[in-house]
Structure 1
Amino acid sequence: MAPPSSCILLLLCLGMLCPHPGDSFPHKTTCTIKEGKADCSHMNLNNVPPGLPPDISTLDMSHNRLKVLDPGALSRYPSLEHLDVSYNSIMGLGPGLCDALPRLQHLSVQRNQVLHLTATELRNCSRLTHLDLSDNRLKLIGEPFSVLKSLTWLDVSRNKLITAGLGTKPQLPSLVTLILSGNDFTTLKTDDFSFLSSSPSFRVLGLSSLPLKKVEHGCFKPVSALTDLVLDGCNLNTLLTKVCDELSDTSVRNLTLRSTLQTVLKNITFKGLLKTNLTMLDLSSNKISKIDDGTFQWLPLLESLSLENNNIKHLTKDTFMGLKSVTQLNLQKALVKTKAAYPIIDDFSFQPLVKLEHLFMRDTSFRDITENMFAGLPSLRTLDLSWSKAGLKTISNTTFASLQGSPLQVLNLTRMALTKLDPGAFSCLGNLTTLVLKYNFISQDLTGEEFRGLNSIREIYLSLNQQKISLTHRSFIHVPTLRVLMLGRALTGTLDMEPSPFRPLTNLTVLDLSNNNIANFNSGLLEGLYHLKVLKMQHNNLARLWKDANPGGPVLFLKDTQNLSVLELDYNGLDEIPLKALRGLFHLNELSLSGNLLNYMHGSIFNDLQALRYLRMEKNLLTSVLMGTFSVPLSNLSELHMEHNPFDCTCESIQWFSDWLNSTNTSVPERTSSYICNTPAAYFNRSVLDFQTNSCKDLLLFQGLYTFSSTMVLGLMAIAFLVHFQGWRIQFFWNIAVNRTLGMKGSRYEQMVEDRYDHDAYVIHAPDDKPWVERSLLPLENENFSFFLEDRDAVPGQSTLESIVENIRRSRKIIFVVTEALLNDPWCRR
């Protein structure tokens, strides 16, 4: 249970959060200056350094070797408001400190050797509001604090003071907090706090770790406006009732009694607090074994009660009688099992706590959850039973029947050795939003009936259940409102089923399937989970599912999760990523692929990851980091982990990445020590940062010449082969192109072409078709139109082939008389 804010302040005041004097820090050589603050701590300095900016407002000189506070040295910094000289060897403050520092507000002189303190040393410290003189050897001379009119916080703890009285006349009119812990006085006298009788703002008093033996009547009367009192570590076994009686006329609201050696709380112990406004009571870390009935009846306004770390044997229906305002009860380790028996919690023990909202019973022992154990808690919102030692093994539909209709929202059953959830186990908890079942031994097939009735559930944690839970396609059919489902190290069996067990969870945003040795499922595993933002699948066996050689191709199970923000796939044995595996993940912010076997990746595999901020690929088999593959994901990256890969430090593999590492502002942990070259031998075991990219630039000219010459040679070879085998075709189409493109018509050229033709058409026919030609074509001839017939018009003595070629050239057209005889003619077939 988190302590109230006032207690946090007191813990700080008491030095519980302060560094131990033996803590080791590295010594610096220069002061750190930032935003008006100078940090000169841990520098073995004997004096205040003179060369600091004169306008600094804060100076930290702690953990040095100062023996005096020299006003002359400090006067160089008149704007100082905060001065910390703790953990030095200062013997005294010395006169003139505040004359040199007129704006000083906070002064810490903790753990020094200050002995005598006089009003002269604090003269003119009118603005001082915070003074820490703890862990010195103070002997007050006169009334040293009477001059501090603005002081609100004073710590003089652990100074071997023999009295709580710091003065004999009223002083410190603005004081709010006084810490007197760890001193040597054994009695709180009637007039000890009379010096605060004119301090209307006083509220907080720290009296921890005092050897108190006596509390005189009226000792708290001068500080009746007191609201916070800390008595931790005092032996109040016989004094507690007296202390409560003396507080009866105060305004105390927060009372801390940790480790005060209480064993039995009687029904009159807190009677004196009836007239107070006590709202917080801390009785943690005592040895309380018995609480009498009605012990707390005197505290009707109490809101927070802590009984943590005690040894209570029995809670009855009257133990908390009268606590009608309590909203938070801490019973963590309050009831501890002994060899003899379990502690007993009677039915209706919590019934008086009608306003209780948060009940913490972590690591508490009880025999069982009875039918009426939690009856009468109409306001309960949080119930923490984690790590409790009980005989409970099975959650049945009656286990939490006493909470029927309660507004319970959070139920924590972590590490309770549960083995089974019965159907309707939580059916009476219709308002539950968070159910935690981690670290149990649940072994069963989830049919879905276990979660029936959880109409408002948002989060279910089933992680670390020894991998004994099997899912069915109906496992979550009754919880469509679920947003977070944690199943890490919980599952056994297969997820290769239709429909997917997660298909009803359309509102799911976080899914954890890590550490389950999952090796097989289909592409519909996450079908319909359009709102999924976080997917954890590390430590499984997904290598086969993403192989191109997988029967049916790679399983692209991320196709419906376009809103993913975090994807964790570490330690899955992946040696390849399909080209489309990460397509469409435009909102992915964090990708983790550590501990796989990745080497080669497609050039565009990360192209959609434009929003990526965190990339983890350490401990893979990456040899090259190419610009074409990684330029997109690394362009906006905030943090990169790619260490412990066997990089190939060559120009082709690592040049771009080396330049990027040397120039980027992205956080790259272990940049200098864990990005090591594996090959070639010249760079073996050297940092990638040491790779000389200049050598790659010298090769650019050679590479250009090589590319040009290779292109020319290949081009000439192609032209030679083309001309050799297709030259005639090129010439033919060239002539056609020239004639048609240049458009030589109606010109002298056209007339020359016309003069070239002797016949209008060259007739080709088979000898058997001659009668048809003479009958059908020859009648068409006249003085302006003529045919060329080979057997009629050929020049005697001329070669047949030459005659054909020449006369075809001198004829405008060619007429083929296509018949079967022509096709069989030897000339045609040739």
Structure 2
Amino acid sequence: MGTRLWILMLVVNQVAPYRRPAEASPCQVVHEDVDCSSLNLRRVPAQLPASIHLLDLSRNLLQNLTDQELPAFSGVRSLNLHANKIQFIQPGFFQDMSLLEVLDLSENSLDLYAALKTHVGLLASVRHLDLSGNGLFTDMSDYFLSDAPLLTNLSLDGNSITKISRDTFNGSQALTNIDLHNNVIIEIEEGAFESLTGLSELDLSVNSISCITDFNLVQLKTLNLSKNSLTSFQTIDSDLEFELMYLDLRENKILYFPVLPQRNKLIYLDLSRNLLRSVNCSGPLEELENLKASGYLFTDHDKPLCLCTNQRHQDLPKLLYLDLSYNQLKTIPTSFFSSMVSLESLNISNNCLESFSVNAEIPLNSLKTLDISYNNLQNLSFGENTLAALEVLHLQGNALSMLDAGIFSRLPSIRSLHLQQNLFSICPPLQGPTNDCIRLSSIPTLSYLYLSENSLMSIPPGAFQGSSLLILDLSQNPGMYLELSSLSGLETSLTHLSLRGNQLQTLAVDFTLFRKLKSLDLSVNRLTGVSLWSGESSVESLNLQKNSLVTLPSDTVIALQKTLRTLYVGSNPLSCCGNPYLLTLLQQGRLSVPDIAAATCWYTRDSESVEISVSAVQPEHCEPVDRKVLWISVIVVLALGLSLVSVVALKLCHSKTHGFKRGIKA
């Protein structure tokens, strides 16, 4: 028995060197998920498990999909072939993958395959198909979609499709989501999408569509037509209730407000960055004639295009978000908002509005955010019991100077006021009715107030009394005078204060009283000293950049050092020797000093002023001149003494040498 075993082992040892060891698969296998991505594969490794649910072959060098290159995995449910070089697919290749639901063929060269005019075959269970970035031209997608009965999500973005024909989706009637973003679509044949009764999302953004005259996709919920060349959008005249909820028409050339479904569920409408001149669906006859003459409303065949056929009232009872910014609107009648009882966000910024008003008849009491910044407003009025829910109001960039003083007091929910880049002055808290200033006191809900670039000359005492501000921005008001009690009433609430760029030379405020203040910006002023704390500070971020600071008092540094985390102190003529506490704080490394490269100081050397980085200051830079002279004198005396001793020693040695020699002669 022992002899047989020995012989068997000998045979195995002799044969083993001639057997080829099985090569390990380069892919990562986790249960039934296989990741072969980014391995520069030209063919699929043969050592993959038989049972695979998810196979990722993305970012490789596969060129052909054939039985030899990619063996059929009957159990695979998700196949990712993104970013290969696939240019040929064996017809019927996917038909044996009966469980395949997700197929990603994006970023390949399928236009070369489509040029063969061969259908890819049955995609029996595929629900998600990505054909984006394949250079496909018009009708080329048909070869992939002709037999995909369960397909619901299709991506064709980033191709070169110019036309959608009525037959394009005949073989994929279950589609619910189609992405045609970033093609060059000019024409959509009538009926192209109508047979897709389950279609709910359609993305046609970044194309060259010039007009939608008969929108009739009743079942569609989301439509993105942004970044096209649309001059008009019109829905068919119908009593049917449209399911459309999201309509994105931004960055087109739309001249007048779109004709929307009479019965609709719209909650989101974006018309920003168009050429809107009116919130009606067309303008005066003279203007229309001018537009026709300019080519806006005509095709190449001189047929009228995209004219508003009626002036029916637009009802938008469920609309929550409306963006009309970056257009050419000069006026918006109050009646325009009459049906928008649910509106929460309205953006009309960057237009040409000269007036805006909200009255009790159409109070917009659901509105939470109103942006009318960067217009030419001369008049602004909010009636009593209007805008009850308004929290954020943007008025910046209007150069407004005259307003009803109590206009903001009539906003019971206001939290954030953006008033920068106007010409307002602020009323004292007890001043009576006036139109030459605005009252900002006694607004208990107000938390965020921005008043930069208003040419403010002063802040009256108690100007914000009764308003629990968290953030107050008074920056960029050159020459503004801040009184001792200008900020009174904010001691228990204020967390961020900006006084940047006001040319302040002094500041008589004791910030020790502001127990919640976390951020203080005093940069770009003319402050020569900062003594703003009589006790402990709560400030975590302090900006002192670009002032005229020579010294920072030791009591200020001591008050700050417990809580301070970030300090900007660059571009000041600091004294190296007059700021021992500050330099110690900066050199400890505990603080974040983002502008440390610009933080320098000056010291005197040989009667000359020398600038040096605060990080490089050493104790010897600040030694008194008389002490330096004393040390030099000591060194000189020691050197002379050593020289004298050396000379005497040499003479003694010389004398002894001569005496010894004389003794020998004797």
The CA deviation at 1:595 is 0.6
The CA deviation at 1:229 is 1.0
The equivalences for 1:722-801 within 5 A come to none
The equivalences for 1:313-352 within 5 A come to 313-318=231-236, 324-336=242-254, 343-345=255-257, 349-352=259-262
Amino acid at match of 1:318: I
Give the distance between the partners of 2:548 and 2:422, measured in 1 at CA: 30
Amino acid at match of 1:517: S
Taking structure 1 as reference, are residues 425 and 312 closer, same or farther at Cα in structure 2, changes over 3 Å only?
Answer: farther
> Could you tell me which of 458, 461, 468 is aligned with 1:523?
461
Taking structure 1 as reference, are residues 158 and 218 closer, same or farther at Cα in structure 2, changes over 3 Å only?
Answer: closer
Task: Determine helix, strand or coil for the equivalent of 1:185.
Answer: helix
Please name the residue that 2:176 is paired with. Answer: 253
CA offsets per residue over residues 358-394 of structure 1, 9 Å max, x none? 111101233422497762211111111111223x23x
The CA deviation at 1:527 is 1.3
> Could you tell me which of 328, 333, 336 is aligned with 1:389?
328
Gaps of 5+ in 2: 1-21, 282-310, 432-437, 628-666
CA offsets per residue over residues 27-57 of structure 1, 9 Å max, x none? xxxxxxxxxxxxxxxxxxxxxxxxxxxxxxx
> Could you tell me which of 392, 412, 418 is aligned with 1:459?
392
Amino acid at match of 2:421: R
Give the distance between the partners of 2:425 and 2:443, measured in 1 at CA: 20
Give the distance between the partners of 1:154 and 1:669, measured in 2 at CA: 45
> Is the 2:28–2:34 contact (alpha carbons within 8 Å) kept by the matching residues of 1?
no
Structure 1 residue 609 corresponds to structure 2 residue 537: yes
> Is the 1:385–1:413 contact (alpha carbons within 8 Å) kept by the matching residues of 2?
yes
Higher RCO (C-alpha under 8 Å, 6+ residues apart): 2
The CA deviation at 1:318 is 1.4
> Is the 1:150–1:174 contact (alpha carbons within 8 Å) kept by the matching residues of 2?
yes
> Could you tell me which of 389, 407, 413 is aligned with 2:342?
407
> Is the 1:471–1:491 contact (alpha carbons within 8 Å) kept by the matching residues of 2?
no
Please name the residue that 2:423 is paired with. Answer: 491
Taking structure 1 as reference, are residues 109 and 644 closer, same or farther at Cα in structure 2, changes over 3 Å only?
Answer: same
Please name the residue that 1:31 is paired with. Answer: none
Task: Determine helix, strand or coil for the equivalent of 1:629.
Answer: helix
Q: TM-score, normalised by structure 2?
A: 0.75
Aligned length: 562
The CA deviation at 1:129 is 4.7
Q: TM-score, normalised by structure 1?
A: 0.61
The CA deviation at 1:99 is 5.8
The CA deviation at 1:687 is 1.2
The equivalences for 1:6-45 within 5 A come to none
Amino acid at match of 1:205: D
CA offsets per residue over residues 545-586 of structure 1, 9 Å max, x none? 34xxxxxxx343243352112111100111222143x24211
CA offsets per residue over residues 441-469 of structure 1, 9 Å max, x none? 1124x5x546762122111110011x233
The CA deviation at 1:102 is 5.7
Please name the residue that 1:296 is paired with. Answer: 216
Task: Determine helix, strand or coil for the equivalent of 2:557.
Answer: helix
Taking structure 1 as reference, are residues 683 and 186 closer, same or farther at Cα in structure 2, changes over 3 Å only?
Answer: farther
The CA deviation at 1:426 is 8.6
> Is the 1:146–1:172 contact (alpha carbons within 8 Å) kept by the matching residues of 2?
no
The equivalences for 1:28-427 within 5 A come to 96=23, 98=25, 106-109=35-38, 116-120=42-46, 129-133=55-59, 136=61, 138-139=63-64, 142-146=67-71, 152=78, 154-157=80-83, 159=85, 161-163=87-89, 167=93, 170-171=96-97, 176-183=102-109, 184-186=112-114, 192=120, 194=122, 197=124, 202-214=127-139, 219-220=144-145, 223-248=148-173, 250=174, 252-274=175-197, 277-293=198-214, 295-297=215-217, 299-300=218-219, 302-318=220-236, 324-336=242-254, 343-345=255-257, 349-352=259-262, 354-370=264-280, 375-390=314-329, 392-393=330-331, 395-403=332-340, 406-422=341-357, 424=359, 427=362
Taking structure 1 as reference, are residues 159 and 422 closer, same or farther at Cα in structure 2, changes over 3 Å only?
Answer: same
Task: Determine helix, strand or coil for the equivalent of 1:527.
Answer: coil
Please name the residue that 1:433 is paired with. Answer: 368
Give the distance between the partners of 2:56 and 2:523, measured in 1 at CA: 51
Amino acid at match of 1:646: P
CA offsets per residue over residues 170-205 of structure 1, 9 Å max, x none? 3495663413334133259775254x64xx575242
Task: Determine helix, strand or coil for the equivalent of 1:631.
Answer: helix
Give the distance between the partners of 1:332 and 1:627, measured in 2 at CA: 57
Gaps of 5+ in 1: 1-94, 337-342, 547-553, 703-830
Structure 1 residue 470 corresponds to structure 2 residue 402: yes
Please name the residue that 1:26 is paired with. Answer: none
Structure 1 residue 689 corresponds to structure 2 residue 615: yes
The CA deviation at 1:537 is 0.7
The CA deviation at 1:539 is 0.3
Please name the residue that 2:508 is paired with. Answer: 578
Task: Determine helix, strand or coil for the equivalent of 1:560.
Answer: coil
Taking structure 1 as reference, are residues 269 and 164 closer, same or farther at Cα in structure 2, changes over 3 Å only?
Answer: farther
> Is the 1:266–1:291 contact (alpha carbons within 8 Å) kept by the matching residues of 2?
no
Amino acid at match of 2:193: F
Taking structure 1 as reference, are residues 661 and 503 closer, same or farther at Cα in structure 2, changes over 3 Å only?
Answer: closer
> Is the 1:534–1:565 contact (alpha carbons within 8 Å) kept by the matching residues of 2?
yes
Please name the residue that 1:639 is paired with. Answer: 566
> Is the 1:351–1:374 contact (alpha carbons within 8 Å) kept by the matching residues of 2?
no
Task: Determine helix, strand or coil for the equivalent of 1:622.
Answer: coil
Amino acid at match of 1:617: L
Give the distance between the partners of 1:473 and 1:168, measured in 2 at CA: 73
The CA deviation at 1:413 is 0.5
> Is the 2:138–2:162 contact (alpha carbons within 8 Å) kept by the matching residues of 1?
no
The CA deviation at 1:146 is 3.3
> Could you tell me which of 676, 681, 706 is aligned with 2:600?
676
Task: Determine helix, strand or coil for the equivalent of 2:556.
Answer: helix
Amino acid at match of 2:441: R
> Is the 2:426–2:439 contact (alpha carbons within 8 Å) kept by the matching residues of 1?
no
Please name the residue that 2:474 is paired with. Answer: 537
Taking structure 1 as reference, are residues 417 and 604 closer, same or farther at Cα in structure 2, changes over 3 Å only?
Answer: same
Query: Greater CA radius of gyration, 1 or 2?
Result: 1
Taking structure 1 as reference, are residues 485 and 426 closer, same or farther at Cα in structure 2, changes over 3 Å only?
Answer: farther
Amino acid at match of 2:574: F
> Is the 1:265–1:290 contact (alpha carbons within 8 Å) kept by the matching residues of 2?
no
Taking structure 1 as reference, are residues 217 and 690 closer, same or farther at Cα in structure 2, changes over 3 Å only?
Answer: closer
The CA deviation at 1:240 is 3.5
> Is the 1:423–1:451 contact (alpha carbons within 8 Å) kept by the matching residues of 2?
no
Task: Determine helix, strand or coil for the equivalent of 1:689.
Answer: helix
CA offsets per residue over residues 224-252 of structure 1, 9 Å max, x none? 4333211124344444322222221x3x3
Give the distance between the partners of 1:374 and 1:687, measured in 2 at CA: 70
The CA deviation at 1:354 is 1.9
Taking structure 1 as reference, are residues 397 and 290 closer, same or farther at Cα in structure 2, changes over 3 Å only?
Answer: closer
The CA deviation at 1:207 is 3.4
Give the distance between the partners of 2:488 and 2:72, measured in 1 at CA: 72
Amino acid at match of 2:475: Q
> Is the 2:82–2:108 contact (alpha carbons within 8 Å) kept by the matching residues of 1?
no
Give the distance between the partners of 1:570 and 1:376, measured in 2 at CA: 47
The CA RMSD over aligned residues, in Å, is 3.6
Taking structure 1 as reference, are residues 320 and 165 closer, same or farther at Cα in structure 2, changes over 3 Å only?
Answer: farther
> Is the 1:598–1:620 contact (alpha carbons within 8 Å) kept by the matching residues of 2?
yes
Task: Determine helix, strand or coil for the equivalent of 1:481.
Answer: coil
The CA deviation at 1:106 is 4.2
Give the distance between the partners of 1:590 and 1:140, measured in 2 at CA: 61
